[in-house]
Amino acid sequence: MRDLPLFLDKDKALRSMTATSPLGTFFGISQKVYDTVWKHLTADAGQSVTYISMEIGADRDVFHPVKDRLMKLGISESTDPQLDRFAKTFLTGPSKIPNYSGGLGILAGDTLKSFACCRIPALAISLFYRRGYFSQLVDSKVGQICWCGEWQPEETPSLYLLQDPGRPGHPLEIEVPFFDRRDQRIMAHAQLWMKLEVNNSLDYFVPEILLDYGIAKSPEYIREASKTLYDSSSERTQAIQRRLLGAAVVPTMRALDVTSNTLHLNEQHGVAVVLHMIAEDLHALYGSHYQEEAKDNDITDAATRVAEKIVYTIHTPVKAGHDRFSREMYEDIGHSFCKRILRLLATDNEHPESYNFTAMAMRVNRATNSVSRLHKIVTQTQFPQHAKKITAITNGVHHLTWVSEARAELYDAFPELENWREDPGVFANAANFVKNKKFRVYMDQAMQKDTNRLISYVNQMLVQHRAQRLETWIDPPNYLSHLDGVDSSLRPEVFTIGFARRFSTYKRADLIFEDIDRLAEMIVTNNWPVNFIFAGKAHPADEPGKYLIKLILDSQKELYEKSRGMAKLVFIPNYDMYIAKMMVAGVHAWLNSPKRPLEASGTSGMKAAINGVPNISILDGWWAEGYHDGRTGWKFGYEAPVDTKMLSEHPDELLYAEDSDSFYKILPEILESFYAPNLRPDYLEKSIMNLALNVPIFNTHRMVAEYLSRYGLKLSSETTRRINGLSKLYRSDQEEQTI
Ligand SMILES: *Cc1c(COP(=O)(O)O)cnc(C)c1O
């Protein structure tokens, strides 16, 4: 009997974490929070932002405030069947939604989480991919092998199929028109899934709408084209995917009554939204005959008005990141009036037979943002005609997602860092820790904890792969799995360098293995053992990228033998957010070796910085801002001024010889600092200075605060005060710094 009231209390607690609306029942936030957010998003004044992105990475195994709350309350079940189901799925359901491929998607997820933390009214729109992005197997002889596992959206916590308020029991649907060559209309239909990005204190959230075209009503070719993220099987499929995103934005907002006056394009993939908005603008002016009546200058005038609502972030100077579609092919997709708009706004002087969607995004916006100071110069060089309106808002990462448990415990133990979860700016106080013995000792212990975790993960993986040799046809990717005996594992006290990101040729994953003899000799002569831990996927159609993975695998044995077993190179297959989080905290230095200036920002190095892990990097992207004259890590490589010649991605112009030489020159100094006696003073100072100098800058709270000044939203005075506080430490667009 004594248990009963407790049970009731638990049900009460669960019920207070539930919200109901005509769209469905949602778990993790209270009714009051739900109503507040929805009121902000649907208010007439339109003071919210709709954020449009082809991919969003926000896996629940790296940030899960609702699950944390359940665990803290000690609740795992309920007598009420619906609450019981919520509790169980949130505690044990699958954590991953396979709709990201790399940095762009992770940035989107981190941004939405910071919107939620800072209580900024925002809606996100992306696509729902039934097949998702591929999973990676790696075989030592074949290299990367792609496969697509099934995933169960219905079982995935925090994902809800929205209900149609007008037709109870039916899913809410939107329609998106496609056209053929004769302007015959073909409708694509999508149902809407909603994922809630709930903030750490469970008092605000950002709804993320995923458009699911995989329903029977949609034509077969649409269903097929919507299945796989970045399906590149044909140019037509790519163009359809972009349209499935962009042309659905207005219908989605209408279906949800969302009134945002500001649309943020996270890269140009969703830019087809402006075609729709221009047509609506002209329709309002000229009525239903707008297509016949509008002259070219009416269209460009309408584009100017639409541009007032668009904020655009360009993420890369690399060609693969930009969409260009042949005019001939686009006849099959867009209406003839849409072609008229494209001819005026998406012209491509280099390729007159194509529409250039980046050019259109560049033209139709009121603010264009690059993702670092250096990238601003690069973008201005690439688009001189738009140079004036291009500004910099340097990327960040969501610090609560990327801080390891051991490091979070350390930060909690020092009152100087009080409130670090709400305001990463307080890490500016960490500079004093350089002289604080207690902090240094604790920091070193936290580092060891995280390294032990990573190394034991790798060692278990090596053993598992060895066992699989007998059970599967996959040949283990790592040389160490083929070795028997004591030396076939990694040791945590050995200096460990991490490298993980998409395998793309400009990122030069193999750069430091350019001269294995030289690398091995340095390690042997000085008796400085090193672990190299690598991970990353190459896009299935990127043959040179896949070849880089093979090169890494092929270097393992040679490096091991030439260094007499002192250098061990391991590849972890199937890179994802979970592996990323373990790696950035568990290694002793984070390596980044792109060809400057092609890495627009890069964010994995920022994740390392949050954990006090120094970077060893080419002075490119964010590192040009985060290096602080060597106080936070090391730089190497050629630092030419930005010009169009340096932007070449040609294999012969990737500067392998120069930049690897530069790496070998700085490596002894790095190893010496790590292997120094008495708590490695110089290394630890760099580690602590990452907290003091880089965490206050390279977080998404600061980043969204800067974006807010581009959006110009009118928010409550409390929110505005908070946001001003977050952005006062740094201005990406100004050279002089206050930190
Ligand atoms: C952070 C992250 C990336 C992006 O890393 P970059 O350094 O920006 O290339 C890619 N994939 C995953 C899984 C990540 O967590």
Note whether 373 and 500 are same-domain residues. no
- Mean pLDDT to the nearest integer, 622-643: 96
Query: Residue 216 Cα, ligand 1 centroid: separation in angstroms?
Result: 35
Q: In degrees, to the nearest 5, what angle opens at C-alpha 377 toward C-alphas 705 and 362? A: 70
Note whether 298 and 440 are same-domain residues. no
- In this structure, is residue 71 part of a structural domain? no
Report pLDDT for 371. Answer: 98
Residue nearest to atom 8 of ligand 1 (CA): 602
Query: Residue 646 Cα, ligand 1 centroid: separation in angstroms?
Result: 24
Question: Does 381 have pLDDT greater than 60?
Answer: yes
**Ligand 1 site-directed mutation target among 603, 623, 698, most atoms within 8 Å of CB:** 603
Query: Residue 619 Cα, ligand 1 centroid: separation in angstroms?
Result: 18
Query: Residue 464 Cα, ligand 1 centroid: separation in angstroms?
Result: 26
- Mean pLDDT to the nearest integer, 657-666: 97
- pLDDT class of 738 with cuts at 50, 70, 90: very low
- pLDDT class of 1 with cuts at 50, 70, 90: very low
Phi, psi of 553 (to 5 degrees): -60, -40
CATH number of the structural domain spanning residue 132? 3.40.50.2000
Note whether 354 and 499 are same-domain residues. no
Question: Does 472 have pLDDT greater than 90?
Answer: no
Note whether 227 and 320 are same-domain residues. yes
Query: Residue 484 Cα, ligand 1 centroid: separation in angstroms?
Result: 33
- Mean pLDDT to the nearest integer, 233-254: 97
Total number of domains in the chain: 2
- In this structure, is residue 32 part of a structural domain? yes
Query: Residue 609 Cα, ligand 1 centroid: separation in angstroms?
Result: 14
Residue nearest to atom 4 of ligand 1 (CA): 103
* Ligand 1 atom closest to the CA of 601, numbered from 1: 8
Note whether 425 and 379 are same-domain residues. no
Q: 419-444: per-residue pLDDT in tens? A: 999 999 999 999 999 999 999 999 99
Query: Residue 102 Cα, ligand 1 centroid: separation in angstroms?
Result: 5
- Mean pLDDT to the nearest integer, 374-397: 96
**Which residues have C-beta within 8 Å of that of residue 327, sequence separation ≥ 6?**
339, 342, 353, 354, 355
- In this structure, is residue 473 part of a structural domain? yes
- In this structure, is residue 17 part of a structural domain? no
Angstrom distances, CA of residue 570 to CA of 51, 475, 663: 38, 14, 20
- In this structure, is residue 708 part of a structural domain? no
Question: Does 366 have pLDDT greater than 90?
Answer: yes
Note whether 383 and 445 are same-domain residues. no
Note whether 175 and 233 are same-domain residues. yes
Note whether 411 and 345 are same-domain residues. no
Note whether 357 and 484 are same-domain residues. no
Query: Residue 356 Cα, ligand 1 centroid: separation in angstroms?
Result: 27
Percentage of the chain beyond pLDDT 90 is 93
Q: Judge whether 356 and 347 are in contact, CB under 8 Å.
A: yes
Single residue among 366, 392, 418 that ends a domain in this structure = 392
- Mean pLDDT to the nearest integer, 307-331: 93
DSSP letter (8 states) at residue 691: I
Q: 206-229: per-residue pLDDT in tens? A: 999 999 999 999 999 999 999 999
| CA atoms lying within 13 Å on the CB side of residue 546 | 16
**Ligand 1 site-directed mutation target among 61, 133, 403, 501, most atoms within 8 Å of CB:** 501
* Ligand 1 atom closest to the CA of 621, numbered from 1: 8
Report pLDDT for 236. Answer: 97
- pLDDT class of 739 with cuts at 50, 70, 90: very low
Cβ < 6 A, ligand 1 pocket: 102-103, 106, 501, 575-577, 580, 602-604, 607
- pLDDT class of 122 with cuts at 50, 70, 90: very high
Query: Residue 103 Cα, ligand 1 centroid: separation in angstroms?
Result: 4
Element (H, E) at 341: helix 336-345
Percentage of the chain beyond pLDDT 70 is 98
Note whether 309 and 420 are same-domain residues. no
DSSP letter (8 states) at residue 325: E
Note whether 440 and 362 are same-domain residues. no
Report pLDDT for 7. Answer: 58
Report pLDDT for 5. Answer: 54
What's the CA gap between 5 and 12, in Å, rounded?
A: 10
Which residue reads 């899960």 in tokens?
64
Domain span at residue 686 reads: 403-700
- In this structure, is residue 12 part of a structural domain? no
* Ligand 1 atom closest to the CA of 507, numbered from 1: 9
* Ligand 1 atom closest to the CA of 501, numbered from 1: 9
Question: Does 735 have pLDDT greater than 90?
Answer: no
- Mean pLDDT to the nearest integer, 13-27: 97
Report pLDDT for 737. Answer: 45
- pLDDT class of 149 with cuts at 50, 70, 90: confident
For 73, counting Cβ atoms within 10 Å of its Cβ (0-12 exposed, 13-18 middle, 19+ buried), the class is middle
**Ligand 1 site-directed mutation target among 55, 95, 502, 504, most atoms within 8 Å of CB:** 502
Phi, psi of 464 (to 5 degrees): -60, -45
Note whether 414 and 340 are same-domain residues. no
Residue nearest to atom 5 of ligand 1 (CA): 604
Question: Does 143 have pLDDT greater than 80?
Answer: yes
Report pLDDT for 8. Answer: 64
Single residue among 392, 419, 435 that ends a domain in this structure = 392
Q: Hey, is 592 helix, strand or coil? A: strand
- Mean pLDDT to the nearest integer, 662-689: 97
As beta bridge partners, residue 193 has 161, 210
- In this structure, is residue 81 part of a structural domain? no
Q: 63-117: per-residue pLDDT in tens? A: 999 999 999 999 999 999 999 999 999 999 999 999 999 999 999 999 999 999 9
Query: Residue 555 Cα, ligand 1 centroid: separation in angstroms?
Result: 23
What's the CA gap between 83 and 87, in Å, rounded?
A: 6
Q: 257-284: per-residue pLDDT in tens? A: 999 999 999 999 999 999 999 999 999 9
Residue nearest to atom 2 of ligand 1 (CA): 103
Query: Residue 202 Cα, ligand 1 centroid: separation in angstroms?
Result: 26
Q: Which amino acid is at 15?
A: R
Single residue among 335, 362, 392 that ends a domain in this structure = 392
- In this structure, is residue 145 part of a structural domain? yes
